[in-house]
Amino acid sequence: MDRDSDRSCMPAAATPYDVAAIRADFPILQRRVHGRPLIYLDNAATTQKPQAVIDAEADYYATTNANIHRGVHALSQQATDAYEAARAKVARFINAASTNEIVFVRGTTEAINLVAQCFARPQFAPGDEILISAMEHHSNIVPWQLACRQTGAVLRVVPVDDAGEFDLDAYAKLLTPRTRLVAVTHVSNAIGSVVPVRQVVTLAHDRNIPVLLDGAQAISHRRIDVANLDCDFYAFSGHKLFAPTGIGVLYGKEAHLERMPPYQGGGDMIRSVTFETAEYNDLPYKFEAGTPHIAGAVGLGAALGYVSAIGVDAIAAHVGDLLADATARVAEIPGLRIVGTARKKAGILSFTLDGIHPHDIGTILDDRGVAIRAGHHCAMPLMQRYGIDGTARASFSLYNTTADVDALVAGIHEVRRVLGG
């Protein structure tokens, strides 16, 4: 394995943005579905994987597979080097101050649950308040509900307006001496709204309130600099950043992580154990009990190298152009309602069609090879805010093209023709 550089992660893409070359890096995009070329527009659920990531994970298993941190033999030491090199890549990618602030977890969901159980549960008391927004994914709602039941704390919700914009004025008023934590999404997975998180953090920190940001959708759409954001915690999943499933990251300021008790007990998170007590390991290993997803971490490192070689800003510009094109074109379709029209959005187009269930939209589009998501997108309270059961959601990524937008628009017209919308 090449652990000293990202050369194996370099895409075929050239400057200027070469989407055809990028598409060639993703084997699954050569597939046909129902006899038609695959048009993959479900990137908010998970992204496809470039050959560089597939190769990195396969190469790990073929040449390096061993357990980490506990072995003196060559394979164990090489596996440890690969795993820790991936942690260092994550730290650089999000500009963390130290690898001690990077905890590998299964994904955003586990990262948020870790903070709920290790940061909130030990110190929150009856009447304390946790502040979230109306556009949160269930993974940034339910863990806090559990923490509230365990501690007597209360969950408060920042509203969003009809366009899907985070209400900063209401947020400022909801911050009180009882607010002990703010936990909000960076980018809505359901409607694509970009939350002004820097202002969210500043307003909270002015009152000495820590902030967790759910970065599951933001991580593949914009440059993330946790030092600049000054957030206390940042959570994201590898599989939404072209990496394998089952690997994710919790960034936490070292001072917080040092004070937090461990999430799970087991091997590698301890320094010593007796039948009476245990001494916990240093950061970040205190939170990584048991054998981790080593190959997934290696794959995540490869994905970060791939994305960095193309350029996060170039990817964001490309996806922004696709979203603007798709938004303008579907807005002209009779009976179509765009759900979420915030001024700042990231790669997500959610919509309904009068009289047609989102699942029927998704089914007809699938028959044409177009993969979208249909339903409540694990954001049921937000759907209730708009008085709907769900939406059809097309979400764009670095390998999508204007031809994919053409296919989406043609497919929606076919839905209306077939179902009489």
Q: Any idea which residues carry the catalytic annotation?
A: 378
| Residues ≥6 apart with Cβ < 8 Å to 275 | none
Going by C-alpha positions, the residue among 254, 244, 242 that lies closest to residue 296 is 244
Question: Cis ω on the peptide bond leading into residue 122 (within 30° of 0)?
Answer: no
Cβ(22)–Cβ(47) below 8 Å: no
Give me 27's structure tokens.
């084997």
Burial of 313: CB neighbours in 10 Å, binned 0-12, 13-18, 19+: exposed
Sheet strands (E) in 44-178 = 102-105, 129-133, 154-158
3-state DSSP assignment of residue 177: coil
For residue 281, give both structure tokens: 């390991």
Report d(CA 38, CA 290) in Å as an integer: 39
What is the DSSP secondary-structure string of 331-388? TTSTTEEES---SSB-SEEEEEETTB-HHHHHHHHHHTTEE-EEE-TT-HHHHHHTT-
